[in-house]
């Protein structure tokens, strides 16, 4: 008989909320006056839906989603120089994303959290 799964760690819940928030905040950077803004918005909507699925799976404890989040964190940090091209609210969001990436890289590799994900989906 399989042991009951422990409850979701608070850090997973908080980080899932922050990931969703940062994901949706990116919408404010669409430049609606550009000729291709409608196409960009459509592609971005697909991206938002995909990331929402990943974040939901992550919050439910699916291991593959943890790996997608970890890979995304590394990608965020690899583009640290992009912050130099940003200004205002976009720069603040970029900094928040990179700070969260560092925190998640450490947190998601702690024994307790790895063990929770290893328990399989809730």
Global pTM reads 0.81
Query: What are 97's two structure tokens?
Result: 């994303």
Highest mean predicted confidence (pLDDT) among 5-19, 53-67, 88-102: 53-67
pLDDT higher than threshold 90 for residue 106: yes
Average pLDDT over residues 90-118: 91
Mean pLDDT computed over every residue of the chain: 86
The confidence score (pLDDT) of residue 120 equals 55
The confidence score (pLDDT) of residue 5 equals 58
């Amino acid at each position: 008989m399989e042991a009951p799964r422990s409850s979701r760690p608070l850090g997973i819940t908080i980080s899932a909320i922050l990931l969703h928030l940062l994901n949706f905040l990116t919408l404010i950077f669409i430049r609606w006056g550009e000729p291709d803004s409608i196409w960009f918005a459509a592609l971005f909507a697909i991206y938002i839906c995909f990331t929402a699925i990943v974040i939901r799976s992550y919050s439910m404890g699916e291991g593959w989603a943890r790996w997608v989040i970890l890979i995304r964190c590394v990608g965020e940090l690899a583009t640290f120089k992009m912050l130099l091209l940003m200004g205002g609210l976009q720069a603040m969001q970029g900094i928040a994303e990179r700070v969260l990436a560092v925190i998640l890289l450490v947190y998601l590799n702690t024994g307790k959290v790895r063990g929770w994900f290893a328990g399989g989906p809730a």
